[in-house]
Amino acid sequence: MLKYDEELFLRLVEKEGLAFRGQIEDIVDGISNRGYSNIFLIGAGGTIAMMYPYEYILKSNSTINVHAVIAAEFMVMNHRQFSKDSVCIFTSVSGTTQETVAAAEFCKERGATTIALVAEPNTPLTKIVDHCITTGSETHSFDTFFMLLYMFSFRFMYNNNEFPQYEQFTKEVALLPRAILNAVNSFDKTAEEFAIKHKDTDYHMMVGSGNLWGNTYSYAMCILEEMQWIHARSIHAAEFFHGTLELVVEDTSVILLKGEDETRPLMDRVERFAEKITKQLTVIDTKDFEMEGISEEFRKHFSVSINWSVLSRISVYLERERNHPLTLRRYYRQMEY
């Protein structure tokens, strides 16, 4: 596969990522034993989008009070639920994202418990927080972060007496890297065909819901807009029929990200409409991918990882077909603003 090292992926995500389980359990157990009032999932851009699935999972499976918030807004909004008893979780690939670092300092100064997942060691974010897991590599960092956030989220639920299936769940988390690899292999040709077909498409509608809403938001903004300079919009399936439907015409590119959680019927409704109107409908459905050894009960949660991994194959081929490196920026980190 183009720009994909399977052995490196398995080493970074399967072997090294799963090795953090004990450390995560120690962190969460210590916090749970002391007691806490709520959890804040804090990020900026792609990393706040990464938090949305876990906010959805916790809100729909737990009584734990959880808030996913954008770092810069959080610091100015006087969030009345935030206190010294809050647990604040951050993610950053570089460990230098300005808004995230500032938010971590903000939370730490006010006595909250701070946790960070960072790819690059010895960076500003790693030095601020109370607990830090440093994966050591930017390569496949989102795949690894997703796995670590599963372990954090479900350990908090387990300690809250809400998830007795925890041991089985963690066994299946260990199977997820192989499931991702199989999905990537099976989707690769489709990803290439999409990129060839749409290399000159100048606008995409991306629709998602539930625990795939974060991926939808992130791919439209961080990949298509930021990394490829393509006009894109992310639309929640529950809101699609409150405005957006009027802009769909015969040649509108509509990309549906379908998962397996409780919101799937919302996506089905959008699909039924879109297939009547546009000839440029793309449906990426996690049900199409085998997850060997993973139970039906947990597939809906792992759809987040599967979906993001196959989307990433589209990115690689768009880069090639458009001759536009994913690292190219006009403004981001290129100037002061």
Residue type for position 276:
K
The rounded distance, in Å, linking the Cα atoms of 289 and 311 is: 13
The rounded distance, in Å, linking the Cα atoms of 298 and 210 is: 15
pLDDT above 90: residue 148: yes
Report yes or no: 155 and 87 within 8 Å, Cβ to Cβ: no
How crowded is residue 290: how many other Cβ atoms within 10 Å of its Cβ?
11
pTM for this prediction: 0.96
202 pLDDT band, cuts 50/70/90, is: very high
> What phi and psi, each to the nearest 5 degrees, are found at residue 245?
-55, -30
In the chain the domains, ranked by start, together with CATH numbers, are 6-173 (3.40.50.10490), 186-322 (3.40.50.10490)
**Ramachandran quadrant class, 257 (left: phi over 0; alpha: psi -120 to 50; beta: rest):** beta
pLDDT above 90: residue 123: yes
**pLDDT tens digits along 268-311:** 999 999 999 999 999 999 999 999 999 999 999 999 999 999 99
Report CA 319 to chain centroid distance, whole Å.
21
Q: What is the three-class DSSP state of 108?
A: helix
For residues 103-136, one letter each, b for 16 or more C-beta atoms within 10 angstroms of the residue's C-beta and e for the rest, the string is bbbbbeeeebbbbbbbbbeebbbbebbbbbbbbe
Packing angle between helix 166-173 and helix 141-159, nearest 10 degrees?
170
CA angle, 227 then 232 then 235, to 5°: 125
The rounded distance, in Å, linking the Cα atoms of 11 and 174 is: 13
**pLDDT tens digits along 69-103:** 999 999 999 999 999 999 999 999 999 999 999 99
Element counts in the chain: helices (H) and strands (E): 13, 9
Listed residue (315, 310, 317, 265) closest to 288, CA to CA: 310
137 pLDDT band, cuts 50/70/90, is: confident
DSSP one-letter code for 160? T
Query: What is the model's pLDDT at position 16?
Result: 87
